[in-house]
Amino acid sequence: MINVNEYFEGAVKSLAYTTPQGRSTIGVIEPGEYEFGTSSHETMTVIEGSLEALLPGQDKWQTFTGGQTFEIEANTSFKVKTEVQSSYLCTYR
């Protein structure tokens, strides 16, 4: 089953699905800045565009572009921002 998720008044949309390895989402982020909370470990891979991320415990934003990945531990929050429409794959393991 594919579930549709929408956040921040439609500025972030994703499709959620489950594989034998676990849950995943693939989505698109409109230009802006957003804060997300986690309930499980996440690995986020930028597919297209560019995301800047402020990861838990960090004080500097890091830039990630197509093919680059970052990880977020469970039960934390992180911020992302982008100046261009960007797509991502997020796996929850």
All structural domains of the chain with their residue ranges: 3-91
**DSSP annotation of 68:** -
Note the pLDDT tens digit of each residue in 66-87: 999 999 999 999 999 999 999 9
How far is C-alpha 27 from the geometric centre of its chain's CA atoms?
8
Note the pLDDT tens digit of each residue in 5-54: 999 999 999 999 999 999 999 999 999 999 999 999 999 999 999 999 99
**DSSP annotation of 9:** G
In sequence order, what are the residues at sequence separation of 6 or more whose Cβ sits closer than 8 angstroms to the Cβ of residue 9?
Answer: none
> Containing H/E element for 75?
none
Locus of tokens 């997300």: 36
Quick one: CATH architecture of 3-91? Sandwich (2.60)
* 41, 73 contact by CB (below 8 A): yes
